[in-house]
Amino acid sequence: MSVTTHWFLPTHGDGRSIVDRPHVTPTGADTPRQPDIDYLAQVAQAAEHLGFTGMLTPTGSWCQDAWVTTAALLARTRRIKFLVAFRPGALTPTLAAQLATTYQRVSGGRLLLNIVTGGESVEQQRFGDWLDHDQRYARTDEFLAVLRGIFAGEPFDFDGEHYQIRGAVAFEKPDPQPPLYFGGSSDAALPVAARRADVHLTWGEPPGAVAQKVRRLRELAAEEGRTLRFGIRAHIITRDTSAEAWATAQKFVDQMDPADVAASQAKFAATESTGQRNMAALHGGVLRSDARELEIHPGLWAGVGLLRGGAGTAFVGSHAEVADLIEEYHAVGIEEFVLSGYPHLEEAYWFGEGVHPELARRGLLAPVGAPAPDPVAAGRW
């Protein structure tokens, strides 16, 4: 089965380095490329031109709202889908269903939904959410049950611990029903993914660790009478040669301030997120002088996670080497790749013009310029 590639919309700003990140500093004022609509349109149009299927648009207090931003970009693009991230604790499932239904009508079916339960209480409390980690996943389970009930098109009732709902409807059934992408690595998260998600997303741990997670989720989904697709969220540094790619990784290391690394690692050490702890364990919190010392698997680099929360690894290498790593992940069950790079505009071209054709040559991707398979139309949801 072929792979699906998605790119990332930098609604927090962009730059030529890992250190150009507004959520490291108190504000995004020093971000070299501000996330104005014209720049974001450039990134979205490039991703569309290069054959990516969708664009992940993040959620949080450090970035712009994903619903509003991507809706504005619909008129600036023609085909690309938007993987809109949102937090169940910040809106009701009925409102989410209405938003999704409206979005599908306005966009012609270009919505994908990324449900972000939220791993950090400090961040959740900014939105008035005071549930603890496991309670948040229990609420997400109920939220998604209601959301799917409304998507079915009949008035929906629900009685749970977090939601008591009567006669919930949207003005019509969404066409098509947007697939649900869901991340989480904890014991509280995995059963929710098995029961409710269409695609489980994981951060870029080594292929062996990802294979174990895929096997566990397949078992849990089978117990629910369901099947899941699997995706991975990672960064990309790809160039015409391996030496050029690793030189870029080395430049990123050289730009890191040890004090900033220490501050980020102190924050990550207190995390409630299992996935974030897994990311931190890959590099041990130590800034190395040689970027290659942070290579934890052939072509998999943990240097991003020294400063950046969330996805902390990058696929690094020549176009063929990056394709090799994608093929390795695909062999353990990963079909969707949600990717990003610094800066997002230029790195989209490096990947789209370099790795996409390589994947196509291997039969893992439709050739650039050919219609990409639509998993919704193909009934894979």
Has residue 165 been placed in a domain?
yes
Grade residue 376 by pLDDT with cuts at 50, 70 and 90: very low
The verdict on pTM exceeding 0.75 is: yes
Q: Mind listing the pLDDT tens digit for each residue in 134-152?
A: 999 999 999 999 999 999 9
Cα–Cα distances (Å) from 369 to 181, 200, 235, 355, in that order, read: 26, 28, 24, 14
Has residue 70 been placed in a domain?
yes
Per the structure, the complete domain to which residue 86 belongs is given by: 4-235+317-362
Has residue 297 been placed in a domain?
no
Has residue 374 been placed in a domain?
no
Has residue 371 been placed in a domain?
no
Question: What span, in angstroms and rounded, lies between the C-alpha atoms of 149 and 169?
Answer: 9
Closest CA to 74 of 96, 87, 57: 57
What is the pLDDT, as a whole number, of residue 24? Answer: 46
Res. 379: pLDDT tops 50: no
Burial bucket for residue 109 (CB in 10 Å: 0-12, 13-18, 19+): middle
Q: Mind listing the pLDDT tens digit for each residue in 285-305?
A: 888 999 999 999 999 999 999
Q: Mind listing the pLDDT tens digit for each residue in 176-233?
A: 999 999 999 899 999 999 999 999 999 999 999 999 999 999 999 999 999 999 999 9
Res. 372: pLDDT tops 80: no
Indicate which CATH number applies to the domain containing 334: 3.20.20.30
Has residue 167 been placed in a domain?
yes
Cα–Cα distances (Å) from 304 to 146, 227, 255, 283, in that order, read: 37, 32, 12, 9
Res. 25: pLDDT tops 50: no
Has residue 205 been placed in a domain?
yes
Cα angle for residues 378, 380, 381 (degrees, 5° grid): 120
CB 89, CB 118: distance < 8 Å? yes
Q: Which carries the bigger pLDDT value, residue 352 or residue 127?
A: 352
What is the pLDDT, as a whole number, of residue 369? Answer: 56
Grade residue 122 by pLDDT with cuts at 50, 70 and 90: confident
What is the pLDDT, as a whole number, of residue 278? Answer: 82
How many domains are there within the chain? 1
Q: Mind listing the pLDDT tens digit for each residue in 326-345?
A: 999 999 999 999 999 999 99
Which positions ≥6 away from 378 have C-beta within 8 Å? none
CB 156, CB 149: distance < 8 Å? yes
Has residue 254 been placed in a domain?
no
